Each structure stands twice: as C-alpha cells, then as structure tokens.
Amino acid sequence: MQNLANNSYQVISPARINLIGEHIDYNGGSVLPAAIDLNIKIKIYKRNSNLWKVTSDSQSKDFIRKLNDYSLSSILWHNYIIGVIFEINQIKPKIISGFIARIKSEIPIGIGISSSAALTCGLASGLNKLFNLRLTQFQIINISRNAEHKFAGVKCGFLDQYAVLKSKKNNFLHLNCFNLKLSYIPVNLKDYEFLLLNSNVKHSLSESEYNNRVLETQNGFNIIRKFYPQTPYLCSVSLSEIESIESEFSKKIYKRMLFSVNENNRVNEAVSALKVNDLAKVGKLMYESHKDLNELFEVSCDEINYLVGLSKKSGLVLGSRMIGGGFGGCTLNLIKKVHKEKFIKFISKNYYQKYHLKLEAFAVSISKSLTVRKL
C-alpha cells in the first residue's frame, strides 16, 4: 500500500433521471435525461502488483483479478468491471497495470436511475486519468456501453452514458440517440422538485424483458422498412405510417410500434413545454408516458402502477411515471415542495397497507456531470 497516494484520483459519478423518452434510446429516439445529486464515489490508486482489486461498500464480495483475466464472473457487478477494463484494452492494449479502486455509493442498485452507468463511466474515467490513457469522452461512452452489452448482457442505448458524462446543472440533456446530436434545455422548477419513490420491487435488466423489447422493436422496424425503405430508424416513423400498415404487425408488435412513436413525440412536446416553463404540461406528458409504458410497452408492474395511480388521486403531484427499464424500481414524481412531506406520508402508508413493502423517498436535484480530481 506504499506510495499509493502519489498517483491517485477520486471520481464522482452521478445517477440520472429521464424526464420523458423511456425505452426509445435503442431505437434512435430523442431523450431528456439529467444527472442528479446521488453519486458513486470511486477512489482509485496504482498498485505495484499483477492484480486488479475493486471493493464496494454496497457489495459483499470484492473484485480481485490477475492482469488480463477477462473471463466472466458469476457475480454480476464484477462483470461491469471486467467489461470496462477489457474494452479499454481494445483501444490501449496492456497499458492498465495493477490498481485498487474503492467504491462508495449513494445510489440504490436496481431502481432505474442507472447505477451501472455511474459505475462503468466512473471506473473508465478514473482509469483514464490514472494511466494517462488520453481517451476521449466519446470513447469512454462507448467503453461503458460496450461493457453493458457484452459483459452484463443489457442491450441499452446511449441515454445513460451521455447523462453521466455530458449533463449540466439545472439543464435537461436533449439527445437524439440516432445521430447523437445534443442540446441543453434549461429548467426552472421554481416551487417544484423531483421526487423518486423506490417501490422496493427489485428488477435485474439482464434477466428481465428488457432485451426482449429491444428485439421486438427491431422486428417491427424490419417490417416498416419493407414498406418505407428510406426510414433511417424506428422513432423517425410517423404515426400515420404505422397505422397504414397495421395489418402487417402482430397485435403485440403493433403496440410496441405505437409506443415508440408516441414516446418520441412526447419528448418533443416536453422540450417545448420546458422552454416556456409549462410544468403542468410536463406533468401531463409524464402521466401519458406511464400509461403507454404500461399498456403498449408492457414494462410496468402492479406496484408501480399503484404508485402512479395514487399520485394522481392525491391531487398533490403534477406528473408521475415509472423510470428505467421497468418491472419494478422507481417512480419519478414532479411535486410542489410544500406538498412533499404530506404526499410521502400519504403514499407510504397506503403502499405499505396494500403490499406490505416500505417505500423509500428521495428528493433529487438536477446536477452536473461526472468529475475527476487528483487526491
């Protein structure tokens, strides 16, 4: 452990929310994510040995590997680490020697605010500094995304990685996931704030229906291309074009197509609403998004639907919807600050009475992107 502090860095890597634009990043859609003030902190040091070692305060089993051992682990979080190191090695072969990383996390795992992207982008950024790799931001984004695809088995788009690495305080990131053009949409919530409600229904994206939805939408797009061959990506299709070939789809695939187009249109509406600070419109779009996520894309669950429905019934919330991959996790709620405590008490009591599960509430602020500093 001697001399570790002579070459060491701390990474602060944020979680994220996504206002509108769920499950369309992998089909070229536009999204509205933002980093939030829940973070993973990684302290990373060089080590004069032939081992990589990563410890985490939220995980019981440390990651310890000999250099250049990229075999998959039976422990899922280890595979994110392996994936990052492997992908860096494809760009900068055999530069990464022994290191120790220590992780402390404020981000609950598996609730839909992208703890995995915070981890992969954070580790890649820390290694970039530690070994002076001179990786570009886009290379780090690709490294992190490839780690998810190849080593964790989640066929995600670019939403999470861009949110972690490109966010600005008090702005939503308006990202077109087809051409990766981005702009920033300032947000002034005034007397309102975002509240996350953790259902404590756990989901694992790699074991859920997430990849099935990727495949279903790809299959639907292949049908569209037969009739509209110039269409570059699914979310560029118009609703009228989808409706004109409804008979070509199965009922299930048709619902997936309707959702993808509707959700992409909602993003554009939300951008317009944010520009004139029409938070009531934003809230309405959130509720519409959840309805379609449940009925057309079928990625919600009873507990999450109950929370969204109860938020609407309370009259205290402008908008609510599931967030993340689905099948559990969090709802995102837009609420007036003065109503927050009353609402949390009301919804927690009712949720426990119905499901015998405790609800966790997190008020979050729109924050800045990942930072790295020398220790």
Active-site residues, by number, are: 160
**Chain mean position to CA 14:** 11
Cβ–Cβ contacts within 10 Å for residue 247, how many?
Answer: 6
C-alpha to C-alpha distance for 311 and 332, rounded to whole angstroms = 10
By three-state DSSP, how is residue 304 classified? helix
C-alpha to C-alpha distance for 178 and 157, rounded to whole angstroms = 10
Whose tokens are 């997936």? That residue is 256
Tokens representing 338?
């003065």
DSSP labels, 207-232: GSSHHHHHHHHHHHHHHHHHH-TT--
**Chain mean position to CA 23:** 10
The DSSP output letter for 375 is -
Cβ–Cβ contacts within 10 Å for residue 236, how many?
Answer: 18
C-alpha to C-alpha distance for 207 and 51, rounded to whole angstroms = 30
Q: 183: Cβ–Cβ under 8 A, 6 or more apart, which residues? A: 174
By three-state DSSP, how is residue 342 classified? helix
Dihedrals phi, psi of 10, to nearest 5 degrees? -115, 130
